[in-house]
Chains A and B, each alone.
Chain A
Amino acid sequence: MTPPRKLTSWLIALVALHGIVAGAGFLAPYDPVEQDRDHPYLPPMRVHLMDAQHHFHSRPFFYPLRLREGSFDQYQEDTAAAVSLRFFMRGADYPLLGFVPCRWHLFGTDGARIYLLGSDAYGRDQLSRILFGGQVSLLAGLLGAGVTLFLGALIGMTAGYYGGWRDDLLMRAAELFLALPWLYLLFALRAFLPLTVSPLEAFLLVVVVIGMVGWARPARLVRGVALSVKERDFVRAARGFGASDSYLLRRHILPETASVLLTQAAILVPQFVLAEMTLSFLGLGVPEPMASWGNLLASLQQYSVLVSYWWMYVPALAIVPFFLGYLGLASALQQRSGAYKIDEKSSWSPT
């Protein structure tokens, strides 16, 4: 298999995964914060095509759950009251892709609510929460990686291009940040920022905190590229023609760092998604009622949930395909840039 094809297949897989999460509003049947206090911790429901009398139905349907006789947390299917699924139906409002107001859902029901992945303590639909939580977690990861790469590129280029005392100072700081255990750093940063804030502020706070932690590695790599590029002939020529520092940095050095930055992005995004999850899991990140993969898992800190409600584990599995995708992408990118390096070496003139 040739590396470029591998790269595109990983990319396609990732785009598809992100598409699912981006279309959460459409794919999820309900609003993620809509409560149904009468139905806490409902187990996942089964969708049937065959009813209890062994008759086949062309439209999928499900049986609402009701408490088993003499029990307070055991549910059984109420075979008397089948509710059929409806597709492309109008339901709760949601902003499609974050800004287009929309009401269409892939599926839904009239009457009894359907919980394909069960419900949580407040009777909120776990499937909807996982999908919407993915939006928050992935966005935090992507934005955090953006902040980090911006900082890393800026600092790395400054250090590599100008050199001298700036280089010394910045690289000392980078060593400091590299040496710190990242979770301790994250904790230290988070410790000194406000605790009780609105969900949106908390989200932005998490993004900033995560973004400020990881700049050291990309900065070091970018610095290395900048150091070598600034001695290349085309840069010297441009400087000879009177190009300013900012022009050189923008037009000649930044493009050369692109492959390093891309590879770093593929490595950083899953790490930062995990960082958001960790913070939210520990109660320092995105607060309820907003859903994120981290605070969905937070309920597992209660012993009763851990023992009794297996469907609350599902959010933990949601990130695994994303991790796999990003890991594959990162290694494919690394291979590609490795191949490029060999190319460049052979095309360099031996001056």
Chain B
Amino acid sequence: MRYFLRRTLHAVFLLFGVSLLTFLFSALTPGNYFDEMRLNPQISRETVAALRAQYQLDRPLPVRYAHWLMAVAHGELGFSFAYNSPVGPLLWVRARNTLFLTITAMLLAWLLALPLGVWSASRFGRAPDRVLSWATATLLVIPDLVLALGLLILAVRTGWFPTGGLASVGFENLSPLHKLRDLASHLALPVAALVLATLPMLVRHVRASVAEVLEASFLRAAVGHGIPHPKLLYGYALRAAANPLISLFGFSVGTLLSGSLLVEVVMSWPGLGPLLLEAILARDLYVVIGGVLLSMIFLVSGNLFADVLLYWADPRIRIAASAK
């Protein structure tokens, strides 16, 4: 239990650090959302000053930070200037879509990477392994921006997939089955871009760690005992190789979040990415901070989940944790 407590404490510290960091950066900013109003002769100087005071932009940074922390403690993330509404609900709608996209992509990427990596490791150095290594290397040199654009071009040219958004017009009136199909066709491109961008790294790591375990003498003994090949690979080798892979899982959450930010903008998926970009361009301070913080929360929960998995998978960690 102490193990989880420590990890959670670590996570909270991390979140705290990020919020402090973003606030510090915001102190560096020249100008704010209301600056452009000053150029408008119809808005008096007093109105702008009053607005600034209303949103407490005239207060010193530590005061603003303390206020914001208090708000967060009450479950609010500040107020959006541009949307004139609380940030929380605004972000939540978008964050749901982002989560939906990234979790689908992550599941798919790992479901593909595990068998591919194990298969490649079991034929280490032979033709299938080399073909696969070549394929992953090729994917690795194509940057994700180019990948996303390429898929978008494919969609536009062939018309096989919708080119943006989450659902077609009139989505509400579709039957459940058609709803599912519509959603899947909208999801296909962004998920494909994310999966293709993360897959090569995952496959390479799975391959490397399984190949290392396959050398171990306990596996040779298992071969000698006549344990069937698939069981050997997935029941024993993968289990023994799981440790670094679980850490990689925690790490891959971060890359996927970054990737999805870009993919969402390119493919106009209504997630956090486009919202954040708009907020930056409009200097909508609390939306940016809230968005970054929310992504951090996802990341931290991903890492916590990885820690739990590690605890469950590795008896050494269990013993070490309970010994303390």
Which chain A residues have a beta carbon within 8 Å of chain B's beta carbons? 172-173, 175-176, 179-185, 187-195, 270, 274, 277-278, 281-284, 297, 300-301, 303, 306-307, 313, 316-317, 319-320, 323-324, 327
Contact = CB atoms under 8 A, between A and B. Distances in A.
B18 A194 contact: no
14 contacts: A179-B296, A181-B295, A184-B261, A187-B277, A190-B280, A192-B25, A306-B152, A306-B156, A313-B149, A320-B143, A323-B141, A323-B142, A323-B143, A327-B140
A278 B276 contact: no
Nearest to A175: B14
Contacts of B277: 187, 282, 284
Nearest to A325: B141
A281 B26 CA distance: 23
Nearest to B29: A192
Interface string B138-160: 00111111100110110011000
Contact of B31 (A173, A194, A270, A317): A194
B292 interface: yes
Interface residues of B, number: 50
Given A180-B296, A187-B276, A282-B265, A307 B156 contact: yes
Interface string B15-38: 001100110011011110000000
A179 B16 CA distance: 13
B146 A176 contact: no
B143 A277 contact: yes
Given A180-B18, A316-B150, A327-B140, 16 more contacts: A176-B17, A179-B303, A180-B299, A183-B258, A183-B262, A184-B258, A188-B21, A188-B22, A192-B26, A194-B30, A270-B143, A274-B144, A277-B143, A320-B143, A323-B143, A327-B141
Given A191-B280, A284-B280, A316-B150, A181 B261 contact: yes
Contacts of B149: 297, 300, 313, 316
Nearest to A300: B149
Contacts of B30: 194
* Minimum-distance CB pairs A-B, first 6: A183-B258, A192-B29, A181-B258, A181-B257, A191-B280, A323-B141
A40 to B, nearest CB: 20
Q: Chain B interface secondary structure, helix, strand, loop or mixed?
A: helix
A40 B78 CA distance: 46
B279 interface: yes
A274 B144 CA distance: 9
Contacts of B247: none
Residue among A173, A192, A195 facing the most chain B CB atoms (10 A cut-off): A192
A179 B15 CA distance: 10
B18 A176 contact: yes
A183 B260 CA distance: 10
A281 B277 CA distance: 12
Nearest to B253: A181
Given A176-B17, A191-B279, A283-B281, A181 B254 contact: yes
B14 A176 contact: yes
A283 B259 CA distance: 17
Given A181-B295, A183-B262, A277 B281 contact: no
